[in-house]
Structure 1
Amino acid sequence: MEAKAKATYVRMSPRKVQIVLDLIRNQPADKAMAILKFTPKAATEPVSKVLKSAMANAENNYNMDVTRLYVSEAHVAPGPILKRVQPRSHGRAYRINKRTSHITLVLKEMED
């Protein structure tokens, strides 16, 4: 049995989110929350929201024991890129890519 949660179109680069997801992969859910709380990265806020949602899904939808949950899968996929233009000298225009991410977390119960 597994519980999933997904956040789509998060306005953050997938590279920045991947650093945070590597910290919590294969960790117990409560320890993962503590790691996210004390990690000074901007990506911890959307990742912690997804983790809370996955824990709530596990508890309410699948009747899983929250104390025995661990992060079995954590991955990020690139979403659509918002393309913007920055004016430069001599009438040129430089492209600015504002990247988005799709964050997915899967929680499972530990076996005895």
Structure 2
Amino acid sequence: MASNNEVRATAKWVRVSPSKARLVVDLIRNKSVAQAFEILQFCDRHVAVDVEKVLRSAVANAENNNGMRADDLVVAATYVDEGPTLKRIRPRAKGSASRILKRTSHITVIVAPRKEA
């Protein structure tokens, strides 16, 4: 998926539901890196902290490994995959039990240089 000029970073096994993480990730897709950091800084959802960490890692990878400038980068793609689900049991009435699903996510951010038109 990532071509030569795209740089990615991934956070795996983040303890948040993928559906909740996707709400935040959708906000920064196709935005400049500076604008994405600003959106994440003022986002009320707790998963925004984890997404910001992944974005910082992708920008650092681009700067240190590929020699790109952070000012020229744009968030080319972001997606959240479902990780393994932790299954827990909660006692219920009359000796029965109900299952609690604690979901995890794999968050991926891909940054690329801005295309000049």
Distance 1:68 1:110 in 2: 6
Give the percent of matched residue pairs that are identical in Structure 1 and Structure 2: 46
State the partner residue of 2:84: 80
1:17 aligns to what SS in structure 2? helix
State the partner residue of 1:89: 93
- Match among 62, 66, 69 for residue 70 of structure 2: 66
Give, in angstroms, the shift of residue 65 of structure 1.
1.3
1:1-112 map, 5 Å: 1-112=5-116
After TM superposition, the score normalised by the length of structure 2 is 0.94
2:35 aligns to what SS in structure 1? helix
Amino acid corresponding to residue 111 of structure 2 in structure 1: L
Structure 1 segments, 4+ long, off by >6 Å, are none
Give, in angstroms, the shift of residue 4 of structure 1.
0.5
1:106 aligns to what SS in structure 2? strand
Give, in angstroms, the shift of residue 73 of structure 1.
0.6
2:99 aligns to what SS in structure 1? strand
2:31 aligns to what SS in structure 1? coil
Give, in angstroms, the shift of residue 2 of structure 1.
1.0
Give, in angstroms, the shift of residue 111 of structure 1.
2.1
Residue by residue over 1:47-95, the C-alpha shift from the partner in whole angstroms, topping out at 9 and shown as x without a partner, is: 0000000000000000011101010010000000000000011001000
Give, in angstroms, the shift of residue 15 of structure 1.
0.2
Q: What is the RMSD computed on CA atoms of the aligned residues?
A: 0.5
1:27 aligns to what SS in structure 2? coil
1:6 aligns to what SS in structure 2? strand
